[in-house]
Structure 1
């Protein structure tokens, strides 16, 4: 072969079959040693590759380089030198790979050890998940579960986690609760009304509940009216009845005892109030009636001074007249007992007429002669119809001017006034007038001045 074959097809041992026989010259020509190792030819062919010859790739153990005269031994030595040079490099390449494999194996073990299988239930919806969280707080944060002051977390936030643990979150819901008439807002993590009643400690046996107990409580909450069963004593018509009721008002509780309130009937506590446990309620049977009365209205007296009249003398110029009003009263009877009448209305039927009176300012006379000009006959006609022997039905007063015996004797008379003459009776009347004016004759004294 020529040197061009090496440049085209690479080393000779890649194209020639391996054998131990040296090459022979063609056509029995004289033998010429043309063998050159591949690395020498490459260096000669490609001097730009460097000053160091390039090593050929390692051949399989079964292949050997052709052995020209003096070339086989040299090739063996070169192969040994190449293997010795490659061994440290191979060791250096294997050490980092071994370290990487060991690190990955250890990391995988730690990865598997930190992974936890947790069952998380949020507001009744369970799910199983894998997490690297160390405690409940980290788990909730990793899952985006936010909890507030009214929410319940079990176990508590911050509790360490291990694989297989269960974590439950229940959100709080507002309940606008009216319990036995008292209103308040409470928070509960219960999901149904029945569960909320148990959680709030409400005695539900026999109670009235405004919402079905199986109803689920929405996140925005609900309004709930609960009336527990209570014991009441009702007193009515002389009897006492004890009842258990969950009524909303005293009236309903009384009616549940078989008692009917009629007309004006009421109870000792407001009928619309909430009945309390152990309360005693008395039924009051009430009747009401009206009465109309006519009542007089007193007249007034108007006095005027008159200098023509002696002091102490009063003359009625116009008699007064009483008025009248019509008054309506309400009468109330409670369980047969009458209460004080209550005035409802008043109406004036006619107004009263004022009485006009003249009052004397003249100095009193000093003798009977000073009063001779008075109308004594008018006074006698008014007092006794002008009869000197007149006696009143009681027998106390007698004569023209109706003296009683004591007054008659105080002005000098003797015996009975009706037994004296008319002139003496008039004289004694004048003396009395000088002492007391017309006051002894309150009804007829005014006639003296007519």
Structure 2
């Protein structure tokens, strides 16, 4: 980098101006020696015929020439300047005859674009310091939304300070094309250390005069393909390099597809009875989702595919339409007939009734002690159909025979809840 006294275009003033100033000095000496009053000499010349007049004309011309050269030297000294040019931190002291800042920059090949910063502007004076800052395009983020801005800051530290004037929450975002090294158009910092925040830890960077990528490498931080790197200021105003671990993965899950249900008439079954003719089976669908997590917290879930991989089987329920038979005879007087007098009750589903009433346990007794056996007889009803003792102590065959007798006498209404099972 050039130093402050590294001139870009030195001008050889002495070699160009020695002889004119020498001639001016010699002529002035002759004129001084003659010390003649011009008015007097003009009158004498007219009286004596003019020769002395020509001798006096040379000192006058020399005097006029000396005056011109003296004014030129003053103008020359005024036009020459020594100024300092600072271009993006590269400082040089130069000599120039330029009268304006624009002319100075043109003479030294400094190109300035619309967004660049130049101070001062306009006319140029001896001793001026002309500062040029070329604008950089950087990406900033606030609340997860990114945008591009221009800054003339030389470092990330300076850029954060300038941006924080408008928005203290702003962050600088380092680009990672192809998942490689984090690149930032600016160096990390000019003052003090920086802190790297990663994986719940804070790592100190002793020398902040470096690039973001080099600082991370020096701290032993390895970046994943999707990890992000941003810069902000901590509470003390120092730079923080924040690394966020970003994981993008495709997850597969299966969801059940419910089956539908329909009914159909079944003439082989009695009216009021239903049975599942075809058992329903749920289907399945496979769902692929792309899930993004940042430092372990899910931030995005995008549906990639949703495919039905197993079709459901619909349920079909058969509904009986057969007319029930008319029961005749059988103890209409309320007296029980003989055990064998069951008539056409044999065609009914007594096993289904027993399962519903007692779970098929012939010796079971209800919790309140009032109902017994397969068909949950009360003791009074049991005795009304000729039973002796407790129903739960009788054999299953006797319990069924007396249940048939009760049906023939009073119908299925004796079992209000489970009675319809007889016709299933």
Task: Report the TM-score, using the length of structure 1 for normalisation.
Answer: 0.39
| Structure possessing the higher radius of gyration over alpha carbons | 1
Task: Report the TM-score, using the length of structure 2 for normalisation.
Answer: 0.41
Structure with larger RCO (C-alpha < 8 A, sep 6+): 2
